[in-house]
Structure 1
Amino acid sequence: MKEVITKILNNIHQHHRKLHFHDRDELCVAKVPIFSELYKTELEKINSLVIGSRHKKGEILFMQKDPIDHLYIIDSGKVKFYEVSSEGKQQIVKILGDGDFFGELSIFTDDVSNLNAEVIYETDICMISKDDFKIFLRKNPNILLKITEFLSKRLSEAENLIANLSLKNSDQKIASWLLTMGDKNGVYSSNGIKLKLYLSRKEIADFLGLTIETVSRKLNQLQNDRIITIVNRQEIAIHDRSKLEELSDI
C-alpha cells in the first residue's frame, strides 16, 4: 500500500506546473463561487499561490485516511468521491466538476480524508496549501462566510442523497438523478436537454445503489416512453422534464 501511495504522489508532483494567467476570466480561482466578490488584484494574489496539475482518467488524488493539506479547485474535468465497503463494493458519494472545490475542511481541522478521490475525466486541478490559504483568509474574512454557505449546501445535498438511497425506489432514483444532472450539466436545445455522461453504467449504478441491469433497463424504459433518448453511452437527451418530475415524486 505504501508503494502505491508513493507512486501516486510522485505522479502528481511530476505533473505540477505553476499557473500564470492574467485575464480575470482565465484565472483558475475566478471560477470558484466563494471568490466571486474579490477584485481582480485580489484574485491575482491568491492565484499566485496556486500550483496546478493535470490528471488522466483513473488517477487517484488521495485515498481514505490520507491527510489533506490543500484546498483543491477543479479548473476543468470531473472527480468522483467514494467509499469502498468491506466486500469491495464502491459507493459514490459525490461528483464534482468545473469550478467546484474540495479539501476546505482541512482549513479548520487536521482530520484525514474520509473518502477516496478519483479522476473520471481528464482534469486540471489547482491547489492552494492549507497554510497559504489560512493567511489569505485572515485578510479576507468574508470568504469564510462563503465557505460556510457552501458547506451548508453540500450538507443538504448529502441529506438528499441519503433520502434517495434509502426512501426512493429505482424509478424515482433514476428520474431524480437525471433531473439533477440535467440542471447541473445539461445544455438546452430545440431537441431537449442534452446531458453528457461522465460515468459508466456501473458507476451510475454504484452512485444510486442499484445494479447495472436495473439502470440499463430503467433507462431503456424511459426511452421507450419517449421521455429521454439514449444518444450513445455517453450522452442522453431529456425530452419530457415534467414527466421525470412526476416519476421522481417531487
Structure 2
Amino acid sequence: MDHQHSCHHHAACIRLVPIFNHLEDGQMDEIAKSAKTMDLKKGEMLFHAGDEDDTLYIVNRGKIRVYRLSDTGKEQLVRFLNPGDFTGEWALFHPGEVHENYAEAVVNTSVCLIKQTDLQKHMVEHPQIALKIISEMSERLRDSEKQTMQVAIEKVESRIISFLADCVEKDAGESPIITLPMAKKDLASYLGTTPESISRKFTELEKRGLIEQLPRRQIKINDLDELLLYAD
C-alpha cells in the first residue's frame, strides 16, 4: 500500500462526495486538510472484519467490493463502492466499534481517509454534514433489510426481477434498457444464490420474452409491468 499526502488530491476527493460537496469551497478545503490517501492494488484489502472501525473511507478512483462471511464461510456481497462512494460512517456515531464486513479493491484504487475524531469536529462546525450522513445510513439500512428479506423469503426468480426493477430509472418508459451494476457472479453473491442459477433464470426470462440480454451487461426489459406481474 502506498500513501500520498497531496492537498490538491484530497480536495478533489472531498468534492466527489455528496456529504461534503454542498459546502463552500473554503469549507471543503478545510476538511481536505485532515484527509490522508491510501492507494490499494487490485486484490488488496482496505479492512477486514474485526478491524477497528474509526475512519471514513471515500473512494477517489477505482472500485471497492464490500462483503460479509457467514458462519460457514460463505461470502455474500454487500455493495460496491465507486468513486464518490464512502464507507465507515457507522463509526461516527458508535465509537469503539469494529468492522463487520470485509472491503477489497477490485482494481487499483485510491481511497481518502478521514479519522473519526477529525470528522466529528467538522460535523460540529457544519451540522448539515451529519444530516447527509444520516440520510445515507438510512438508505443503506433500508437496502440491507430488503436484501435480507429477499434472501430469506423470496424465490431466486423474484429476487432477480426485483433487482432488475430497482435498476430502472424514473421516467424510463415501459421498455427500458438497464445496465447491470455488477457481473452476474457478483449479482449471484448479492442475491444469495449461485452464478449458474442466475444464468439459468436470465435465460428463462429471455425465452418467455420478458427480457433481452444485450452486450456490455445491458438488459432490455420488454414490458416492465408484465415482468413485475410474472414475479408475483
**Category of TM-score, reference length = shorter chain:** 0.7 to 0.9
Give the SS at the match of 1:99.
coil
8 Å Cα contact 2:54-2:97 kept in structure 1: no
Cross-structure match for 2:88: 103
Pick closer, same or farther for the CA change 1:227–1:48 going to 2, 3 Å: farther
2:204 pairs with 1:217: no
Distance in 1 separating the partners of 2:166 and 2:16 = 21
CA distance in 1, matches of 2:7, 2:165: 37
The within-5 A match list for 1:91-130 is 91-108=76-93, 109-130=95-116
Q: Any unmatched runs of 5+ in structure 1?
A: 1-10
Structure 1 residue 27, shift from structure 2 partner: 2.2
Within-5 A mapping of 1:1-250: 11=1, 14=2, 16-21=3-8, 27-108=12-93, 109-183=95-169, 192-199=176-183, 201-232=184-215, 235-240=217-222, 242=224, 243-249=226-232
Deviations, residues 97-147 of structure 1 (Å, cap 9, x unaligned): 232211112222211001111222443311112222122222112211222
Distance 2:228 2:7 in 1: 44
Q: Is the 8 A contact 2:65 2:80 kept in 1?
A: yes
Q: Distance in 2 between matches of 1:180 and 1:17?
A: 38
Provide the rounded CA distance (Å) in 1 between the counterparts of 2:88 and 2:220.
33
Q: Amino acid of the residue matched to residue 235 of structure 1?
A: R
Task: Name the amino acid aligned to 1:147.
Answer: I
How far 1:196 sits from its partner (Å)?
A: 4.9
Q: Check whether the contact 2:52–2:99 (CA below 8 A) recurs between aligned residues.
A: yes
TM-score, normalised by the number of residues in structure 1? 0.79
CA distance in structure 2 between the partners assigned to 1:231 and 1:57 by the alignment: 28
How far off is 1:223 after superposition? 3.0
Deviation at residue 228 of structure 1 after TM alignment: 3.6
Retained in 2: the 8 A contact 1:176–1:244? no
Alpha-carbon separation, structure 1, partners of 2:4 and 2:98: 25
Which secondary structure state, in structure 2, belongs to the residue aligned with residue 125 of structure 1? strand
Offset of residue 226 of structure 1: 4.3
- Alignment length (residue pairs): 227
1:19–1:50: 8 Å Cα contact kept in structure 2? no
Alpha-carbon displacement from aligned partner over 1:185-224 (angstroms, at most 9, x marks no partner): xxx8xx953415433x333222111122210101122333
- Cα deviation digits, residues 164-200 of structure 1 (max 9, x gap): 112221111111222334549xxx8xx953415433x
Q: Which stretches in structure 2 are left out of the alignment for 5+ residues?
A: none
CA distance in 2, matches of 1:31, 1:247: 39
SS at match of 1:34: coil
The letter of the residue matching 1:37 is H
| Amino acid of the structure 2 residue aligned with 1:224 | K
Task: Write the letter of the residue equivalent to 2:23.
Answer: L
Which structure's residues are more often helix, by fraction?
Answer: 1
The whole-number CA distance in structure 1 between the counterparts of 2:77 and 2:52 is 20
SS in 2 for 1:146: helix
